[in-house]
Amino acid sequence: MTICVASCSHYEQGWFTAYRRLAEDRPDLVVHLGDYHYEYAAGAGGAARVRDHVGAETMTLANYRQRYAQYRTDPDLQAAHAAAPWLVVFDDHEIANNWAGDIPAEPDPFFGLRRAAAMQAYFENMPLRAAAAPHGGHMQLFRRVHWGSLATFHMLDTRQYRTDQPCGDEFRAECAGRHDPSATLTGAGQERWLLDGFATSRARWDILGQQVFFSGVDLTPGPGVGINPDGWDGYTANRDRILAGLRATPVRNAVVLTGDIHSHWAATVHRAQGEPAIATELVTSSISSGGDGSDTRAEVAAILPENPHIKYFSNRRGYLRARVSADEIRADFRVLPYVSRPGAPAQTGATFTIADREASLRAV
């Protein structure tokens, strides 16, 4: 099977050409990992604009419905929807930036109503089964999808059940709160569901579709540690329990698919540096969020020696294409040279293979 993985399509910050190129790859399945749209009013999302959002910042059900309607006028997005079935989860911007459970990033006494409106619009506009229909401001989004015996997709919801970011929202130095055993991205129920799924898995590939960077990453060159507390580095005990579950169950091959951070990354996943890899992680860049981008960024190049498990990085826009067979996954990081004007070609920035029973990445 061929899957294409996408995330983070900001209408104002770039053309959706990557969706068109994705459709041209004729995938069997499109996996969308969130930030399908952005909630901002016209001009409020930063970066250079190639076109404008219609309407105010999304707060009401009518606002959210209008935003989906505007995005769906884009012919490249239409082509991607027509190309293959979609398997979707939301991240933060379908509701509001960096929300966590019932806690907004910015004080908002009406956030519960806003969240309920956003979830209703998401359900109305995205390919979801009736079981996902929202009730009381909550929707059942985490689920398992089986592709025969070849692959099982464990689609996670890392927003509705998470505790507030224990170290705040911004990149920062080490903080003790990130190791708090009660801090969670998944919530206890979803964590149990995931571990139970690992315990009964019979698939060749167990694929976790989720939103935020799973691998540990030291963002500070030299002495000291820098973290992104909105990702799994802000919730290390929750991650450690999942990795322990992977190691203790019959899972044959674990692959984590990630979006959110507007750049391509490939990494092996370890409980601690120097320990054997337990899984691999493939992070897809954004469709358009962040504008044209670049091949690299100086601050990332500076931290790569601190992070030997990271095998690839690109700051270009694009998507991930993965061909899944019984013997291997062949992952192509597809990149576009620009999104500031339409019609960009797509090319492969890097290709890695993951062999059966080997939690490693081999550059091709």
Cβ atoms within 10 Å of 15's Cβ, excluding its own? 23
Which pLDDT belongs to residue 171? 78
At 135 the three-state DSSP class reads strand
Using 50, 70 and 90 to split pLDDT, how confident is the model at 264? very high
pTM for the predicted model, two decimal places: 0.97
Which pLDDT belongs to residue 48? 84
Helices assigned H by DSSP within the chain: 17-24, 61-71, 75-83, 111-125, 187-199, 236-248, 298-303
pLDDT digits (tens, 9 = 90+) for 294-336: 999 999 999 999 999 999 999 999 999 999 999 999 999 999 9
Report the alpha-carbon distance of residue 314 to residue 349 in Å, rounded.
8
Rounded to a whole number, what is the distance in angstroms from the first to the last CA of the chain? 19
Average pLDDT over residues 333-361: 98
Using 50, 70 and 90 to split pLDDT, how confident is the model at 192? very high
Average pLDDT over residues 269-284: 95
At 187 the three-state DSSP class reads helix
Confidence check: pLDDT of 42 > 80: yes
Which pLDDT belongs to residue 18? 99
Report the alpha-carbon distance of residue 10 to residue 92 in Å, rounded.
13
**Architecture label for domain 2-363:** 4-Layer Sandwich (3.60)
Using 50, 70 and 90 to split pLDDT, how confident is the model at 341? very high
Strand partners, 329: 324, 354
Buried b (16+ CB within 10 A) or exposed e, 178-203: bebeebbbbbeebbebbbebbeebeb
Residue ranges per structural domain of the chain: 2-363
Phi, psi of 271 (to 5 degrees): -70, -35
Which of 1, 65, 59 shows the shortest CA–CA distance to 27? 1
Mean pLDDT taken over the chain:
96
DSSP string spanning 42-88? TTTT-S--SS---SSSS-SHHHHHHHHHHHTT-HHHHHHHHHS-EEE
Cα separation values, 308 from 13, 196, 216, 274, 280, Å: 32, 31, 11, 10, 13
At 189 the three-state DSSP class reads helix
